[in-house]
Chains A and B, each alone.
Chain A
């Protein structure tokens, strides 16, 4: 799951030259570093919901919950269990 989400973030949010320069892992800050802003975060939420057949309530789609891939994995796992 980690790899799939990392791959999505690279394709969706980084320019080609940035993707080459930047080493992104599951602990890299996404929101606080400005890679993903609140405006473009919606497509990430939609991707996760579709890919993992879950529904993330808006109040849980916080900048903290989406700030690292490891946080995102945790959020997705929690919802998959509930589903």
Chain B
């Protein structure tokens, strides 16, 4: 064992640097199941506070749904707790394959392979299907796990301006000499809540002989008329070559992810994707619960319809109250504050009002684009959202931002 003083000091200095920048992350302890109303201990040691949760990815309110919890219990009883093996040795149960089949059906693809998380799916898929004769052309706002996955891959990296189809087309023209051109995008972008124009992306892919990759983690289960995802929303089901998504958000919210798409892509991942090869599958309770979630969603669109209704109410309410929000169709509704300190002050004041939200600023979002990201759930109801809206109005009025546009807020608070 050696832990030299110089190393210890370097670590401490780095931690202090993070604190000095004001970006040190502190966890808040929740003492209740995940839901639209939760009990939170924050700061550590403080008494419990009941708050409305507007920052979970629990879009369909299934994280603690009785049917999902009961299914997880059943999984534990019937298939045990863990597998103690990777998939290809002795770590695959019938239910893992069953879940892959159900996800394939749900997403409208050819086959699916489970990963321990979508972070792992994104970390493994590019390296498994691309080589140094290929190019990856990614939207500049894709999720960090995609950036990491691309860095592990030998194919050439390129990027296009966020959702800018002219720029994407230019890049596709530039890379016509490559074996594979893979267009890479999120379906719904997590920080802005806007959608990648998948219909236009698919048209460009067809024109320039490119494949399309979509991370639909913030869409699977609720975007599109039957909740299949952003590809359903844009009418391009069956035309996305690779979809990655998570079971850790709308689809039960525990953990697990997948790569779903062309048969050969999935087969290659099963042979070559390192996060799949060298880690265990999701445990039986999660597999059972995820199957139950897909059963609930295949039986009725009630939950995604309610989420849509809540989202409309929330977007309209905030706009009428005079907040600047990012326009869009998704249940991710960012309230733009531009100034980093203002985003922190407003988040703090909202917490005092019983509203749990987080303020985001550079480098999580672009400089001068600080915001509070609110996320709706089918577990919210209109009276709850009405009360939350009143709290937002009180705090907005206190800071004098209601009715101000971007220019007005920047003039008042700076960047």
**Interface set of A (CB-CB < 8 Å, partner B):** 13, 15, 33-34, 37, 39-40, 42-43
Interface pair A42/B158, CB less than 8 Å apart: yes
Interface pair B367/A34, CB less than 8 Å apart: yes
What chain B residues lie within 8 Å of A43 (beta carbons)?
A: 158-159
Q: Does B390 contact A (CB under 8 A)?
A: no
Known: A33-B367, A43-B159. 6 other contacts (CB 8 A): A13-B161, A34-B362, A34-B363, A34-B367, A39-B140, A40-B140
Q: How distant is A71 from chain B, measured CB to nearest CB, in Å?
A: 19
Q: Flag B151-168 by CB within 8 Å of A: 1 or 0 each.
A: 000000111010010000
Q: Does B147 contact A (CB under 8 A)?
A: yes
Cα A34 to Cα B367 with chains together (Å) = 6
Mostly, the B contact residues are: loop
Q: Flag B360-388 by CB within 8 Å of A: 1 or 0 each.
A: 00110011000000000000000000000
Q: How distant is A58 from chain B, measured CB to nearest CB, in Å?
A: 12
What chain A residues lie within 8 Å of B140 (beta carbons)?
A: 37, 39-40
Interface pair B147/A39, CB less than 8 Å apart: yes
Closest 8 CB pairs of A and B: A34-B367, A40-B159, A42-B157, A39-B147, A34-B366, A43-B158, A40-B140, A33-B367
14 contacts between A and B (CB under 8 A): A13-B161, A15-B161, A15-B164, A33-B367, A34-B362, A34-B367, A37-B140, A39-B138, A39-B140, A39-B147, A40-B140, A40-B159, A42-B159, A43-B159
Q: How distant is A28 from chain B, measured CB to nearest CB, in Å?
A: 13
Cα A43 to Cα B161 with chains together (Å) = 12
Q: How distant is A37 from chain B, measured CB to nearest CB, in Å?
A: 8
Cα A31 to Cα B107 with chains together (Å) = 39
Among B148-193, those with CB < 8 Å from A are 157-159, 161, 164
Chain B residue, CB-CB nearest to A37: B140
Q: How distant is A29 from chain B, measured CB to nearest CB, in Å?
A: 10
Q: How distant is A8 from chain B, measured CB to nearest CB, in Å?
A: 12
Chain A residue, CB-CB nearest to B147: A39
What chain A residues lie within 8 Å of B157 (beta carbons)?
A: 42
Chain A residue, CB-CB nearest to B162: A15
Interface pair B159/A39, CB less than 8 Å apart: yes
Cα A60 to Cα B332 with chains together (Å) = 39
Cα A67 to Cα B132 with chains together (Å) = 28
Cα A1 to Cα B22 with chains together (Å) = 39
Among B116-146, those with CB < 8 Å from A are 138, 140
Cα A15 to Cα B140 with chains together (Å) = 12
What chain B residues lie within 8 Å of A37 (beta carbons)?
A: 140
Most buried by B among A15, A37, A39, A43: A39
What chain B residues lie within 8 Å of A15 (beta carbons)?
A: 161, 164
Cα A42 to Cα B159 with chains together (Å) = 9
What chain A residues lie within 8 Å of B159 (beta carbons)?
A: 39-40, 42-43
Cα A79 to Cα B10 with chains together (Å) = 34
What chain B residues lie within 8 Å of A42 (beta carbons)?
A: 157-159
